[in-house]
Amino acid sequence: MLPSRKHLVKGLYRAEGPARLKVVEGGFYALGRVFEKGDALVVPRGIVTCIEVDAECIVEGVIGGSLSEARPEEEVIGVWRELSEEVVSRGGRVVVVGEVDSGKTTFSTFLVNTALSRGLKVAFIDADVGQNDVGYPGTIALAVPTAPLSWLGELEPLALYFVGSNTPSGCEDAVILGLCKLLRRAESYDVVVVNTDGWVADRRARMYKARLIEAVMPDTLVVMEGTGASEPLARMFETSRIQVVRAPTPPGAKGKERELRKMRRELAYLDLLRKSAVRRLDVKAIRFWGVCSLNGGVRDEKLESVLSSLLGVEARVEVCGGVMAVIVGDERSYRTVLDAKRELVKLVRREVVVTNLGRLKGLLVGLLDEELECVGVGVVEEVEPHKGYVKLRTPVSVDRVRLIVPGQLRISEEGVERERGLPPLA
- The domain that holds 182 is classified in CATH as 3.40.50.300
Clarify whether residues 103 and 137 are in a common domain: yes
Output the domain CATH number for residue 66: 2.60.120.10
Q: What is the mean pLDDT of residues 376-393?
A: 93
| Proportion of the chain above pLDDT 70, given as a percent | 98
Same domain, 101 and 183: yes
Coil/strand/helix, residue 150: coil
Based on the fold, state whether residues 139 and 285 are members of the same structural domain: no
Note whether 346 and 308 are same-domain residues. Answer: yes
402: pLDDT strictly greater than 80: yes
Query: What pLDDT does residue 300 have?
Result: 86
Chosen domain end from 44, 74, 104: 74
**291 and 410 in one domain?**
yes
Asked if residue 350 has pLDDT above 80, the reply is yes
β-pairing verdict for 28-30 and 33-35 = antiparallel
Q: How far apart are CA 319 and CA 357, in angstroms?
A: 17
Same domain assignment for residues 306 and 374: yes
Evaluate if residue 2 carries a pLDDT over 60. Answer: no
Q: For residue 37, what pLDDT band results from cuts at 50, 70 and 90?
A: very high
Amino acid (1-letter code) at residue 1? M
pTM metric for this prediction? 0.91
Single out the residue in 232, 256, 280 at which a domain terminates.
256
Q: Which domain holds residue 22?
A: 4-74
DSSP state of 283: G
**Residues 267, 210 share a domain:** no
Give the confidence band of 417 by pLDDT, cuts at 50, 70, 90. Answer: confident
- Cβ proximity of 191 and 95 under 8 Å: no
Same domain, residue pair 294 and 190: no
Number of structural domains (the chain) is: 3
For residues 214 and 141, state if they share a domain.
yes
Nearest 5°: the CA angle 64, 134, 99 is 80
